[in-house]
Amino acid sequence: MSKNSYQLKELEKLVSLAKRRGIIFPSSEIYGGLSSVWDYGPIGVEIKRNVKNLWWKSFVTERDDIFGIDASILMHPDVWKASGHLDSFSDPLVECSATGKRYREDHIFILEIQIKKENKLITIEASDKDEVKNLVKDKIISITPLAESNNKENPSPEGGILSEPRNFNLMFKTFIGPAEDSSSTVYLRPETAQAMFVNFLNVLNSSRKKIPFGIAQQGKSFRNEITPGNFTFRTREFEQMEMEFFCNPSEDEKWHKYWIDFSLDWFKKYGLREENLMIRKHENEELPHYSKASSDIEYLFPWSWGELETISNRTDFDLKAHSKFSGKDLSYFDQENNNRYTPFVIEPAMGADRSVLAFLCDAYCEEETEKETRTLLKLHPDVAPIKIAVLPLSRKDSLTEYSKKIFDDLKGLFTTQYDDTQSIGKRYRRQDEIGTPLCVTIDFESVEEDNSVTIRDRDSMEQIRVSSDKLIEAINDKFKSF
């Protein structure tokens, strides 16, 4: 019986598999690691590269209205003044007197509540606003507050007293040149978006494209998060896949809906199950200062629902702000309608690391067989790190030579792995655990009798025998069935 990702109660199972199979390692592990920083191993880097390439293909190369850039991480510090990051990109920080542990003030929520479910009242204490939100999302009928903690004493979940809140800017600061003073201060970017706004004129003039059009990029961003956690879900160094779509202000709502639907379809196309996805519209009090409307695409992770992507209507805030601070006119002249305006911007902003984590969670599966529990990743073939594994039954020269030829024929067409160590059963299990869709097994009959090989399906474990001359055709047919 399958145990699906949304039933997975312990994230540790996935973390253990990720380390054991070379998907994701703790960073600097031999030195004790670094909190919430992770390295992608030989298998993980292929999964992440596939996710990024699939996003780029869908959002850029298959379209004629999106252009890609690759901007630098370091930017002029005035960029962050114009965007508001220097003044307002901060979280309220409080500290527990008993343990020294630090929290975001807006995450501290000690509240006794009653839950009405199945005509029964259950009283619990919640210490996290997200915890309360998840209770609502889990379709509990009602939540009625009973009594709040004494705010004057600022009690901590750890038993101490919380300090007064102070703003903590999330940007990492560094310096350009030999002098470490205010004149040489620069920042590691907290998002990739601003580079697309400041390059608006460059792309507009070089592409000779009329509005509507978009600018996309992928790259590293850095945020000095107070409370990172949940494996690779919230980290201080992460990779984004973002696009800024510039449109006429009169068409902003149409394009906002379009990109929400487009993004949701992208996740489903590459394997995330519909029941594990939802769209959550931001309430007015949640909206950033630049946003007219925002919606999250959320995924049901093992711990709770979590944001995968935010699609925001950023209005004309960014272009107007950079026009003001830079002195450059970032408006657009519409020749067809003979008028000038500052474009509105629709922004689909997706996390590459969170997307990889969602694909792993959704693909993780345990199946009971007669002899053991089989663990596998049911990854979509386009996401899977290895598409084909070539597995000779023996290392004898004749079999090795035949198998190497099969491998050489396949590796130019598919990401292929050659494995001839340990028993065939153990090799199948290794490939199952990294999500390899198909294994090609070569035995002595292949060489001595029928010139045929066996294709084994990861999900069903069914095996078919095909002529090696028709192997590529058979593999392509199998991939179509996933």
Residue ranges covered by each domain of the chain: 5-72+189-362, 91-169, 386-480
**β-pair type (237-247, 213-222):** antiparallel
Return the closest-CA partner of residue 299 out of 266, 255, 250, 259. Answer: 266
Q: How many CB atoms lie within 10 A of CB 327?
A: 7
Query: What pLDDT, on a 0 to 100 scale, did the predictor assign at position 136?
Result: 54
Question: 466-478 pLDDT, tens per residue?
Answer: 999 999 999 999 9
CATH of 386-480, one of 3.90.79.10, 2.40.50.100, 2.40.160.40, 3.40.50.800: 3.40.50.800
- Specify the CATH superfamily of domain 5-72+189-362: Bira Bifunctional Protein; Domain 2 (3.30.930.10)
Query: What pLDDT, on a 0 to 100 scale, did the predictor assign at position 351?
Result: 96
Cα separation, 267 vs 270, in Å, equals 6
Query: What pLDDT, on a 0 to 100 scale, did the predictor assign at position 356?
Result: 98
Query: What pLDDT, on a 0 to 100 scale, did the predictor assign at position 8?
Result: 46
What is the reported pTM? Answer: 0.84
pLDDT beneath 50, residues of the chain: 1-8, 109-127, 139-152
Whether 5-72+189-362 shares its CATH topology with 386-480 is answered no
Return the closest-CA partner of residue 390 out of 331, 450, 431. Answer: 431
CA of residue 212 relative to chain centroid, distance: 27
